[in-house]
Amino acid sequence: MHNHTHTPHWDIFCAVVDNYGDIGVTWRLAKQLAKEYGLAVNLWVDDLASFGHILPALDPKCPTQTFEGVCIKHWDLPLSQDYQPGEVLIEAFACELPPEVLCKITKAHQAGDKVPVWLNLEYLSAEDWVEGCHGLPSLQRSGLKKQFYFPGFTDKTGGLICESDLLATRQRWQESEQRLNYFTQLGLSGIAADDTVISLFSYETASLEALCQHWSQGKQQVHLLVPIGRSLNSLATFIDPQQDLAPGQRFCHGKLAIHLLPMTDQQGYDRLLWSCDVNIVRGEDSFLRAQWAAKPFIWHIYPQEEDYHLIKLEAFMALYCHNLAPEVADAWKALNIGFNQGSQEALLPLWQQVITAHAALTQHAQKWPDEAINDADLATRLVQFVKNS
């Protein structure tokens, strides 16, 4: 068996469907594999402009560039950069690999050369069936084997992305009370230590309008920190959609101040989550980072056909709440369901209950990460999975 095309690097292919989740997840994973496992990782991305929103230092015109030890390559059509089969080949979220790549690994297979461990990294779900599907092979017509890698919350799944020093770093940050400094660094002003600060990174929902009305008429000063994006489409009553919006702008309505933020890199976004009293997050990656932030949160799940996302939401909430006091759990669950269904007035008493239970929810949120990670994080399990393949 000759092996000359085989170099021990990993390739991750990511097609940006919409939004930032696909690139967000693969970028986190690539960074961690490079940093903690010393792996040579190529991250192939078809849309560098979108990637630039969460990695502002990226040059969208540059075909190959390295950040945090990861070689980022533009995945164009036809593929203009050479692909050499490495140790592992990951197609993220069932993206279709470029024909040039399939051709190379098929030829290697036919020649009897070693081929990469080929994995389809799937979306995260807390549903029960995930355990049964994690690791299943999918035999290709070419005779090659591809395997499903399912992230998840139990020890029989592929785990959750969490860098080895993340929870300790987050804890130190929160203990040293850096949040007001951080808000200043982000260009925000007028936030006092006792004010309620909420971050908002969601899709469109009518619930936001009702919540903002409620906050504007309340007794407590509320600051809503909004990285510029889709949430603003649901805030038209509070922010005139016709005007030019820019980071740093502030819109005050009674007791509510809405602050516009720039999108930052992932580390900056993590810090934002660590610094707020409540985080409204969405999709897959910000949802997980809100859990690592150990603060109460609302999850705006990515909408799917026939409301399938509500089943995923229920599955996660059942897991998250299993040892939370029932009255707190019920209010928190109902708030999440209502927010995802676009409820308005019905949401307000639930918000009040959740805020009243803020201390209990925070205590729960602090314990949750260890429980969720179980025996090991995703990168650790993935490296082991590859060793066993």
Ligand X SMILES: Cc1cn([C@H]2C[C@H](O)[C@@H](COP(=O)(O)OP(=O)(O)O[C@H]3O[C@@H](C)[C@H](O)[C@@H](O)[C@H]3O)O2)c(=O)[nH]c1=O
Contacts (CB under 6 A) with ligand X, residues 29-68 = 54
Comparing CB distances to ligand X, the nearer of 19 and 157 is 19
Tokens of 39: 């792996």
Q: Residue 112 carries which side chain, given as an amino acid letter? A: G
Cα 381 off chain centre by:
19
* Out of 12, 24, 119, 260, the residue judged to bind ligand X by CB under 6 A: 24
Question: Does 310 interact with ligand X (rule: CB under 6 A)?
Answer: no
Question: Does 91 interact with ligand X (rule: CB under 6 A)?
Answer: no
Query: Among all chains, which residue has been given the structure tokens 């990656």?
Result: 285
Name the phi and psi angles at 197, rounded to 5. Answer: -120, 125
- DSSP three-state, residue 252: strand
Comparing CB distances to ligand X, the nearer of 98 and 227 is 227
- Binding track, positions 172-211, relative to ligand X; x by CB under 6 A: -----------------------------x----------
- Among residues 114, 134, 34, the alpha carbon closest in space to that of 379 is found at 34
* Out of 7, 8, 17, 189, the residue judged to bind ligand X by CB under 6 A: 17
Do 195 and 215 contact (CB within 8 A), yes or no? no
Shortest distance (Å) from residue 261 CB to ligand X: 7
Question: Does 18 interact with ligand X (rule: CB under 6 A)?
Answer: yes
Comparing CB distances to ligand X, the nearer of 10 and 20 is 20
Shortest distance (Å) from residue 252 CB to ligand X: 22
Q: What Rg do the C-alpha atoms of the chain give, in angstroms?
A: 22
Give the CA dihedral 61, 66, 71, 77, nearest 10 degrees: 0
Contacts (CB under 6 A) with ligand X, residues 123-162 = 123
- How far apart CA 38 and CA 316 sit, in angstroms, is 33
Do 379 and 37 contact (CB within 8 A), yes or no? yes
Residue count at the site for ligand X (CB under 6 A)?
Answer: 23
Question: Does 20 interact with ligand X (rule: CB under 6 A)?
Answer: yes
Which positions lie near ligand X, rule CB under 6 A? 17-22, 24, 54, 123, 201, 227, 263-266, 269, 282-287, 302
